[in-house]
Amino acid sequence: MFLRIDLSSLPAGVTSASISKATLKVYVGSVLAVGSFNVNRVPSAWNERAVTSANAPPIGSTILSGVTVYVQYVMQ
């Protein structure tokens, strides 16, 4: 999965350099087993509306590795 975060609409006086932390929560419909994923930079240009497995840009440096995805049971 590729995800682009657009910082072009930050409030006046705020730059991307002044952001020290951001939190992204991703919710999934179901997880059958514990797993993990990495977060990597994509240093080249790409189009989020057109990227596919066939034309995906090369992955750059790892920002965060081994992010655990847990199985959670919700009783209704």
Q: Enter the pTM of the model.
A: 0.64
Q: What pLDDT score does 58 carry?
A: 93
Task: Return the bridge partners of 37, or none.
Answer: 67
Q: What pLDDT score does 60 carry?
A: 93
Domain positions in the chain are: 25-76
Q: What pLDDT score does 76 carry?
A: 59
Segments in the chain below pLDDT 70: 72-76
Helix (H) or strand (E) holding 40: strand 35-40
Buried b (16+ CB within 10 A) or exposed e, 38-76: eeeebeeeeeeeeeeeeeeeeeeeeeeeeeeeeeeeeee
